[in-house]
């Protein structure tokens, strides 16, 4: 089972693409690893979608840590 996914605008084509990519990524990771995949459209009214193999709280903590480390490097 995949973790969270977010679809602000229900788009069956994007949802199918994310599920396909998510399953492909998941099969390539060693045990104990999780992922998040973000895709975005650009321009006015753009949307961002994501899929993750982790529970929401776990991925939010990982992303916050990643951002904090990235900010310290700049």
Structure tokens at 37: 């995949």
Cβ distance 37 to 18 under 8 Å?
yes
Distance CA(62)–CA(12), nearest Å, equals: 28
Q: Which two tokens stand for residue 66?
A: 């990643």
Question: Which of 44, 46, 47, 26 has the alpha carbon at shortest distance from 36?
Answer: 26
pLDDT in tens, 28-54: 999 999 999 999 988 888 888 999 999
Longest dimension (CA), the chain: 40
Of residues 43 and 19, the one with the higher pLDDT is 19
At 3 the pLDDT is: 53
- Spatial separation of the C-alpha atoms in residues 41 and 48, rounded to whole Å: 7
Report pLDDT for 43. 85
């Amino acid at each position: 089972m995949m973790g969270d996914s977010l679809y602000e605008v229900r788009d069956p084509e994007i949802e199918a693409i994310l599920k396909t990519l998510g399953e492909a990524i998941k099969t390539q990771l060693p045990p104990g690893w999780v992922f998040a995949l973000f895709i975005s459209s650009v321009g006015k009214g753009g949307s961002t979608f994501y899929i993750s193999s982790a529970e929401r709280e776990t991925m939010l903590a990982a992303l916050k840590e990643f951002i904090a480390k990235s900010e310290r490097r700049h």
